[in-house]
Structure 1
Amino acid sequence: MDKLGAIGKNISATWTPFAARTQQMLKERLGQDNDKTELPPDYLDLEKRVDALKAVHQKLLQVTSQYANEAYDYPANIRESVNDLGRTISEKVTLLSNASSPAEAQAAFTAPPTAKPQPKTLNHALARASLASSQLLNASHSGGPEDHFATALEKYALAEEKVGEARLEQDDAIQQRFLAPWNTTLNTNIMFATRARRAVENARLSLDATKGKTVAVGQQEEIAPEKRAEIEQKEDEFVGQTEEAVGVMKNVLDTPEPLRNLADLVAAQLEFHKRAYEILNELAPVIDGLQVEQEAQYRKGRDGQ
């Protein structure tokens, strides 16, 4: 019975302040209490700034979270088989170069998978489609001069696979150096600030509830010493919670982490675009050379007619 009594006292001690805060909140929402304790302007300014920072994190995360989805740019209208995704472009090109007949080339092209499925990105899809197209042209070619278009498609496939791998490296860097820390800031630092602000609001409601109860009981008469002591205790709690919340919010706002993370996001994107430029810049003159050769071959054929 003693234990039950102790539990009952604990529940009562917890419930009574909660009920008082809830009643005070309802009174304020219904406009029945206009004597609300005001928070300092500097504190309210910090709240606005923290809310803005939270909105910024949520807004950017809605977009950048796509970097955690490998297939964010993968064409939705294509269907690729297990064989299509089974080997890298480089592996297929090596197998095709060792083939001595059209049958062997087809067997090499459709060789069974040896590793995990290839990535589903736009660049990898372009690479696979280009190599398949090159193989179609070569399979239909009955000897004679080199098919420059088929050769160009094969080289383009190899380049696009490299670009796709660079994109995956970018995505991994963004996940590690931007998404992870930004989620930490949102779900930890800003959450701590939210909890501190909630504690301030609870302390304010308790203070105003105590003030209202004292006035109601005293009927505007001189407040008894024990009641005044209770109000002063609630005021001290309110001030203490406010000061703590100010410190937490300033810490959230002053940290250089978000800007550092944004710099890392830019760096990852820059590195990808730089790498893509280098790969395509190396490919472009090769494709141009094949085009020149094909045009010369075309003109020679026409002149000989």
Structure 2
Amino acid sequence: MDSFSKFTQNVSTSWSPFAEKMGKSFTQYKQMASESLGSTGEVTELPTDYITMERRYEAVRQSAISLVKLSKAYTAPPTQFDMQALQSQFFTMTFKHGSKNEAEARNEVKPPATCQHEIARASLDVSEKVGLEEPLGAALFKFGSIEERVGTEKLKQDQTIDAKFIKPMSATLESSIALAQNARKQVQAARLTLDAAKTTFKNARPEKADAARREVETAEDQFVTIVEEAMNLMRAVVESPEPLRCLSEFVAAQLAFHKEAAALLGDLAPEIEEIQVTQEALYRHDNK
């Protein structure tokens, strides 16, 4: 008998917090439903400062989500399907009648590191087939060699952006922004609890009015505290220098890549142009 009493006491002790939590949730859902149906009284308004801070915070949160998503797409390697299609088009334009072995080889290309690397592979492969002694073959060899180096610089840029922008910004989304998001939910829950308490007090019988009033006072104190905590967490997100530091790193990585790419292509352009001018002069001379 003592064992059974002890068991029921333990169950009661462990059940109480759960029941209390479920009771609060039910009260909040009931209040939310009443507000949706328009059958409730006056709804407690959030402080103007809170609304302003929430608007600023939400703008930062949305920008962080969008930029992380776009940056991942920007630094991701091209899909195998897209690059195979591009390479296939390149071969088709250059060799209208490729052999079966060549077609099979095209279907066995390795996953590209960057678009530049894949263009380099295709150009170098075609240059060998055309022959380096031919103007087109020589130009494609030079072009492929430079594109490979540009691709290597693109990989460096992508690795830097991943390490210094995507990862820290993702960490921010999972930490300070996640905490602020949870706090916003707590504010709404506290507001619903407060309004439910006000409704109960308004409809309370005289003998229960004092208890209902104390419930309102407790709910008001909790509401004020939770609103203040949420504002502090959102302010920490809005005023944090971390996004600007990450953005600076992003810009620096892009700038380094484009500078190096411009220098490499700047050296290549006059060489390709010289080959093109010479070939055009020879073509016109031979077709007079």
Q: Normalising by structure 1, what TM-score?
A: 0.76
Aligned partner of 1:86 in structure 2 is none
Question: Does residue 170 in structure 1 map to residue 170 in structure 2?
Answer: no
Question: How far apart, CA to CA, are the structure 2 residues paired with 1:240 and 1:249?
Answer: 14
Task: Label 1:230 to 1:34 Cα distance change in 2 as closer, same or farther (>3 A).
Answer: closer
Question: How do 1:166-245 and structure 2 match up within 5 A?
Answer: 166-218=153-205, 223-224=209-210, 226-245=211-230
Deviation at 1:23, TM superposition (A): 1.1
Aligned partner of 2:234 in structure 1 is 249
Deviation at 1:25, TM superposition (A): 1.3
Question: Does residue 48 in structure 1 map to residue 48 in structure 2?
Answer: no
Question: How far apart, CA to CA, are the structure 2 residues paired with 1:237 and 1:27?
Answer: 22
> Which runs of 5 or more structure 1 residues have no equivalent in the other structure?
81-109, 140-145
Aligned partner of 1:2 in structure 2 is 9
Deviation at 1:167, TM superposition (A): 1.0
Question: How far apart, CA to CA, are the structure 2 residues paired with 1:301 and 1:228?
Answer: 102
Q: Check whether the contact 2:113–2:155 (CA below 8 A) recurs between aligned residues.
A: no
Normalized per residue, which structure has more helix?
2
Instruction: Report % sequence identity.
Output: 35
Aligned partner of 1:75 in structure 2 is 83
Aligned partner of 1:64 in structure 2 is 71
| Matched residue type, 1:14 | K
Deviation at 1:239, TM superposition (A): 0.8
RMSD of the TM alignment (CA)? Answer: 3.0
Question: How far apart, CA to CA, are the structure 1 residues paired with 2:212 and 2:277?
Answer: 97
Deviation string, structure 1 residues 115-142 (Cα, Å, up to 9, x no partner): x956343211221121122111228xxx
Question: How far apart, CA to CA, are the structure 2 residues paired with 1:293 and 1:38?
Answer: 78
| Matched residue type, 1:61 | V
Question: How far apart, CA to CA, are the structure 2 residues paired with 1:68 and 1:300?
Answer: 45
Question: What secondary structure does 1:77 align onto?
Answer: helix
| Matched residue type, 1:165 | T
Deviation at 1:301, TM superposition (A): 7.8
Deviation at 1:276, TM superposition (A): 0.7
Residues paired across the two proteins, number: 262
Q: Normalising by structure 2, what TM-score?
A: 0.80
Task: Label 1:147 to 1:12 Cα distance change in 2 as closer, same or farther (>3 A).
Answer: closer
Question: What secondary structure does 1:75 align onto?
Answer: helix
